[in-house]
Amino acid sequence: MLLILAVIVGFVFTVGAAVNKNKTFVCSAIHVNVEYPPFMQLVSEKDIEDKITYLSGRSIVGKPLSDIDFNTLEKELERIPYVKNAEIYTTQNHNVYVDIVQRKPILRVINNDGVSYYLSEEQTKMPLPNTFTTNVPLAIGYVETHEDLDGDSIVLKQLFDLVNYVEKDTMLAALIDQVYVTENGSFELIPKFNYHTIFFGKVDDKMDERFRNLKTFYKHVLMHKGWTDYKTINIQLPNQIIGVKRDTV
């Protein structure tokens, strides 16, 4: 009986000592890595480290690891508009590693109210950073500010689908630079060299057919007659394309 009691006491003592030892481990260093699309870094390693310092009250270097709430830090970092995912972990040498996956901007919006923001692949709105502007298509005109109005949300969703389609097509991505959103929610596409304006209309299930017509018009008409011959190209209807020449306007 005494032997069993001694074993239990020894086990409790060993576990207690291990727990106390773990509490004495301190963060020896912090390493931050931000994974971002090429030429599209919106948040830096220093930004993340500064945010962790702010959330923790001081630098976590030298702080007991048991006092660092990794789950809370991850959740708070993911509240940063540019951050898609955050993971924080430690290694055997008590270093803290922070892996950040940045959201990818696919569209920059400047609306009639002067409000600017990026739209990410997940349709998340991201404010423009003060020190950096990335090269993505630009949408101007009657675009949503930050309200969740039904009409604005529909326009923004269609705008997202339109730009996504354009960016996945090599020819269209090289051609289209801007999208103007009209007051009634239809879209006008502006090529990079302002050759003409393309009246696109609204996004619907005929979008693929209308863009095929546009590319056919470019290949068989504009490449022979000249890119600047037409003032407007109307592809709002799927079964026709209407080009208005400059000398007839």
Residue 149 has pLDDT above 50, yes or no: no
Average per-residue pLDDT for the chain: 85
Average pLDDT over residues 82-108: 95
Domain contains 219: yes
Rounded Cα distance between 204 and 210, Å, is 10
Residues 90 and 138 in one domain: no
Domain contains 191: yes
- Residue 8 has what pLDDT? 53
Residue found under tokens 């009209």? 182
Q: List the domain range (segments joined by +) for residue 242.
A: 105-248
- Residue 17 has what pLDDT? 43
Residues 82 and 112 in one domain: no
Residue 18 has pLDDT above 50, yes or no: no
Residues with Cβ within 8 Å of residue 48, at least 6 apart in sequence: 32, 34, 77, 98, 100
Rounded Cα distance between 133 and 129, Å, is 7
Residue 197 has pLDDT above 50, yes or no: yes
| Domain end among 102, 130, 146 | 102
Residues 34 and 114 in one domain: no
- Residue 224 has what pLDDT? 72
**∠ CA(169), CA(165), CA(155), 5° rounding?**
155
Residues 157 and 59 in one domain: no
CATH number at residue 44: 3.10.20.310
Rounded Cα distance between 224 and 212, Å, is 18
Residue 247 has pLDDT above 60, yes or no: yes
